[in-house]
Structure 1
Amino acid sequence: MIKIARSIGLTLLFAAGAATAQNAASHGTPKDAKVTPLMTQEMKDIPGKEVLMITVDYPPGAVDPVHRHDAHSYVYVLEGSIVMGVKGGTEVTLKAGDTFYEGPDDIHTVGRNASKTKPAKFVVMLVKNKGAEFFIPVK
């Protein structure tokens, strides 16, 4: 759990810096996503795999840096509206109740709050290798 907390902390630090720079350049005001870990559960019937569940709160205008997860990522929008897209795929706008999937080889090229005035929140369930980083920046 400490390793996951440290990973999440480092990931958030990087994401916050990248999102701040990107937002400052494009919107004039930095807005960072807030990632909250909910649980991690080893998948005992699938050796070496675990599930990590997180929530992501997007303030108005929040934008993610380009990244990947090296995991099967299942997104469920709780409130607001978000825009998601992976390299080679179609950009989609999702509202509360909508879902989105990213595979382990997908590069998440678009992730942002669709609104500049209202917050958005979603939950992500990641099926990944045990102990592996869940957020990998892509340049």
Structure 2
Amino acid sequence: MTTIGIRATILAAAALAAGPAFALDDTAPQPVVVTPLVSTNVTAAGQPIVLPQKDARVIASLFEIAPGATLPVHKHPSMRYAYVLEGELLVTNVETGAATTYRAGDFIVEMLDIWHQGASVGPDTVRLVVIDQVEGDVQNTLLRAKATP
């Protein structure tokens, strides 16, 4: 291979290794843009993430929570993740009182097996993409029984 051939090969390899850009013009739109949302190994409550060990099943849902609506106190025995598309969601850990407000663009690694409650606190409907990871046909939302007088 000639010196020119070696230089061309090195330049081509460097261009490919540099990323997915397909044009020399930095102002040209890129065909794929990846924006990291979260990288964590713990839940919103600081617990280690625990994945199903057998018969793993993924369930994806779209939730819409009207302005002013409050979800019942509940917990998840398996991992649940949510991405907020719209609105403001206030999630309160009812065991500690700690609360966090999530807004459009936030990714939530939900609390594992901790009683909590969500409420739509802004003027817009909360829209969430929710992903559960469960074993088999396990229900991933358990409601707390209401106290009787």
Q: State the TM-score, normalizing by the size of structure 1.
A: 0.60
Alpha-carbon separation, structure 1, partners of 2:129 and 2:91: 14
- Identity value in percent: 27
Q: Counterpart in 1 of 2:105?
A: 97
Deviation of 1:89 (Å)? 6.1
Which one has a larger percent helix, Structure 1 or Structure 2?
A: 1
Q: Cα–Cα, structure 1 residues 104 and 98, in superposed 2: closer, same or farther, change >3 Å?
A: same
* Greater Rg by CA: 2
Asked whether 1:112 is paired with 2:119, we answer yes
Q: Deviations over 1:59-96 (max 9, x none)?
A: 11111000112111111100111111223362011110
Deviation of 1:106 (Å)? 1.8
Q: Counterpart in 1 of 2:140?
A: 134
Q: Cα–Cα, structure 1 residues 51 and 94, in superposed 2: closer, same or farther, change >3 Å?
A: same
Deviation of 1:102 (Å)? 2.1
User: For 2:57, which of 34, 41, 50 is the aligned residue?
Assistant: 50
Q: State the TM-score, normalizing by the size of structure 2.
A: 0.56
Deviation of 1:97 (Å)? 0.6
Unaligned 5+ residue runs, structure 2? 1-51
Number of residue pairs aligned between Structure 1 and Structure 2: 94
Unaligned 5+ residue runs, structure 1? 1-44
Q: Counterpart in 2 of 1:83?
A: 90
